[in-house]
Amino acid sequence: MFDQANNLRQKTRGESGKTNTRIIAIASGKGGVGKTHITVNLGLALQRLNQRVLVLDADLGMANIDVLLGLTGRYNLSHVLQGKCSLGETLLKGPEGLDILPGTSGIETLVNISSTEAKRLMDASAQLGAIYDLIFVDIGAGIHKSNINFISACDEVIVVLTPEPTAIMDAYSLIKILNNHHDNCRIGLLINQFNSYQEGIEVANRMKTVILEYLSITVEIIGLIPFDIHVRKAVKKQSALLELFPKSKAARAIMNLGRHIVNIKTSQNPKGLGGFTDRFLGLFK
């Protein structure tokens, strides 16, 4: 089924798997700021805006998108690498049919990947590139090397923070490290869980100014999502906020962010999945 759809899309695109897939990392310095919930709902928002979206769970420490949505699957990427199943068989169907590539224990094994496995990963990557316009990657919190490597393999990164001083400090540290490691990755700031828009805007502007002053880089304030009790309610019900409470403040803010992402003109072509795989494998060498 997956292969048929893939072939069909390749034909309709008239290209042999070449891709402009945009890969966007959702990252944070401090844990628990809202990355996973945002990744899933942003994915859903973009799907509603007619984008073909994949959500990839790359939180090595605590892969939990499946738990957040009450999904269970048999396979993950490690099974693809071992040749035990196809990539299509690992995908979970999330809300509104959103494609989710679950927990990435398989990616950890890339440290010792064999050439056969590397080939399988490249094939899988080419398949993905032929299908999706956008891939959102949920990254583990903090400045661990594997997180930095993942982010470096993406085209853009959205750094999520809350108004808490610790979240602000840790977001700054992450951006500082990214700036040292990463050649011109587009960085967007997303302030989540503030109590008033005034507070959210103040935090965003302060961060932007400090980053420009001390790191000499311009970051974009990409979104503002207020604290909203509906998020907690949706998480408890293991459902997506956009499905359960589409009119809530946070859901509307996420839809706005989705529209903004669609409208962003990327100054350079996305590196696409081929580039992603090459760099990804290279990072572990």
Ligand X SMILES: Nc1ncnc2c1ncn2[C@@H]1O[C@H](COP(=O)(O)OP(=O)(O)OP(=O)(O)O)[C@@H](O)[C@H]1O
* Residue 54 beta carbon to ligand X: minimum distance, rounded to whole angstroms: 18
Residue-by-residue DSSP string for 125-190: HHHHHHH-SEEEEEEPSS--HHHHHHHHTSSEEEEEE-SSHHHHHHHHHHHHHHHHH-SS-EEEEE
* Residue 77 beta carbon to ligand X: minimum distance, rounded to whole angstroms: 19
Quote the CA–CA distance of 177 and 285 in Å, as a whole number.
20
244-to-183, 219, 235 alpha-carbon distances in Å: 39, 32, 10
- Do 212 and 249 contact (CB within 8 A), yes or no? no
* Cβ distance to Mg ion smaller for residue 158 or 211: 158
Count the residues of the shown chain that bind ligand X, applying the rule CB under 6 A: 20
Candidates 150, 187, 228, 270; binder of ligand X (CB under 6 A) is 228
Q: Which of the choices ligand X, Mg ion, none does residue 32 contact, using the CB cut-off of 5 to 8 A by kind? A: ligand X
Q: Is 70 in the site for ligand X (CB under 6 A)?
A: no
Site string for ligand X, 178-207 (x = CB under 6 A): --------------xx--------------
Contacts of 113 (CB under 8 A, 6+ apart): 81, 121, 281, 284
* Residue 254 beta carbon to Mg ion: minimum distance, rounded to whole angstroms: 16
Candidates 22, 27, 29, 35; binder of ligand X (CB under 6 A) is 35
Q: Which residue is nearest to Mg ion (CB)?
A: 36
Number of other CB atoms surrounding residue 19 within 10 Å: 22
Q: Which of the choices Mg ion, ligand X, none does residue 225 contact, using the CB cut-off of 5 to 8 A by kind? A: ligand X
Give, rounded to a whole angstrom, the gap between the first and last alpha carbons of the chain: 34
Q: Which residues bind ligand X (CB under 6 A)?
A: 28, 31-37, 59, 62, 141, 192-193, 225, 227-228, 231-232, 235, 250
